[in-house]
Amino acid sequence: MAINCPFDYCILFLRKTIEKQEIQMARRYCYNDVLPLTAMVAIECTNVGLNVLFKKATSKGMSYFIFITYTYAIGALLLLSLSFPFPSRQVLPSLNFHLGFRIFLFGLIGFFAQVCAYKRIDYSNPTLASTISNLSPAFTFILAVLFRLERLALRSSISQAKIMGTIASISGALVVVLYKGPQVFSSPSPSSTLLQPSYSNWTHVMEIYPAELLVALFYNICGAIISAPVSLIAESELSSWMLRPSVAVIAVLCSGVIQGFSSFVIAWGLHLKGPVYIAIFKPVSIAIAAFMSAIFLGDSLYLGSIIAVIIISIGFYAVIWGKAKEAERTTSSSKVPLLKVEDARISKRNARILKRK
C-alpha cells in the first residue's frame, strides 16, 4: 500500500489496530471456549479407552487396588516433573492446614469412589454402575446452586437452558443404558465411568488456591499416600505388586499419565468455567463409549445409542449456550459501572458550566 498523504497513515494505523484487536479476541475465544471443550472431550475419549485396558489388566489377574495405587503414583510423578519447568506466575496464598486437609479429603473420596466403582461392577453389573454415575451432573448442579457457584433464576432463559440441558443430558445417558432398540450395525459393551469428588467442592479450592497444576499434584500425592497402605492390606503378597511385561504394564502407565493430565485439566476447567460445565461432560462419555466401542472393538451399535447421542447433544449445546450467554452478561455488567461513573462526571461538569453562565 503506497502512502501518499497523512490520511493514508491514519488508515494504516487503524487497520493495524483492528487486526491486533481481532487477534486478541480470537486468542481469548480459543483459551476460554475452544480449548476447554477440546480438552474435556479428549479426556472423556481417553478414559473410555482406558476402561478397555483396565479390563485387560484385571483379566490377567491384576488387583484393582494395585492398579489404583500405581495410577495415583505415576500421576503424581508426572505432575511433579511438570511443576518445576512450569511454575505458577500468580502470587499464591500460603498452603495452610485447612486447605491441605480439604485436598487430602478429596484424595480420600477419590480413592474410595474408584474402589466402590470397580467393586460395584463385581457385585451388580456395568449397567447399574453407568446409571448411577450419570447422576453426577444433577448433583453437581444442585450443589453449585446451594453453594452459590451458579446463579439460578427460573424466569431467566439462561437458567432455563442450563436446567433443561442438564436434564436432557442425563436422560440421554440413561437411554443408552436402559434402552437398546434394534441393532443398527455390528458393535459395544458398556463402559464404567469412575466417580469423582464433587466438582463444586473442587471449585471452592480453586478459588482459594488458584494453581491448577499444584492442586492436581497435591491431589494425586494424597491419593497415592491413602491408597498405598490400604492396598498393601488388601494385597499383602509382594509378588502381586510385581509388574511383568504385559498389557497390565501398558494399562498402568497409560492410566497414570491420563490420571495426572485429567486432574490438571479438570482443576483448570473448574477454575475457568465452573462445576456445571465440567460435570456436563459425564453423560457425553457414555455416547463416546458407544461409538468408540463400535469402531474399535467391533461391538454392536443399537438405535438407542443413536437416539441418546441426539438427546445428549441437544442438552450439551443448551448448557454450553447458557454458560456462554452468562459469560457475556457478566462481561457487559462489569463495564456498566465504568459507564455510570463517566456519565456522572459529565453531568457534574455540565452543571458547573450552567452555574457559571
Question: Binning pLDDT at 50, 70 and 90, where does residue 106 land?
Answer: confident
- Mean pLDDT rounded to a whole number for the chain: 69
Q: Pick the residue with more confidence: 112 or 22?
A: 112
pLDDT digits (tens, 9 = 90+) for 250-290: 778 887 888 778 777 877 777 777 766 676 666 666 666 66
| Residues in contact with 208: Cβ distance below 8 Å, sequence separation at least 6, in sequence order | 93, 99
User: 280 and 319 in contact (C-beta within 8 Å)?
Assistant: yes
β-pair type (301-302, 183-185) = antiparallel
Q: Pick the residue with more confidence: 295 or 304?
A: 304
pLDDT digits (tens, 9 = 90+) for 161-197: 777 877 777 777 677 667 766 765 443 333 334 444 4
* Residue 79 pLDDT exceeds 50: yes
pLDDT at 188: 37
Sign of the four-CA dihedral 119, 43, 270, 105: positive
Can you tell me whether residue 217 is helix, strand or coil?
helix
pLDDT at 125: 44
Enter the C-alpha cell of residue 17. Answer: 489496530
Strand partners, 185: 301
Q: How many CA atoms lie within 13 A of 98 on its CB side?
A: 6
Question: Binning pLDDT at 50, 70 and 90, where does residue 153 land?
Answer: confident
Can you tell me whether residue 183 is helix, strand or coil?
strand
pLDDT at 147: 65
Q: HEC string of 28-69?
A: HHHHHHHHHHHHHHHHHHHHHHHHHHHHHHHHCCCCHHHHHH
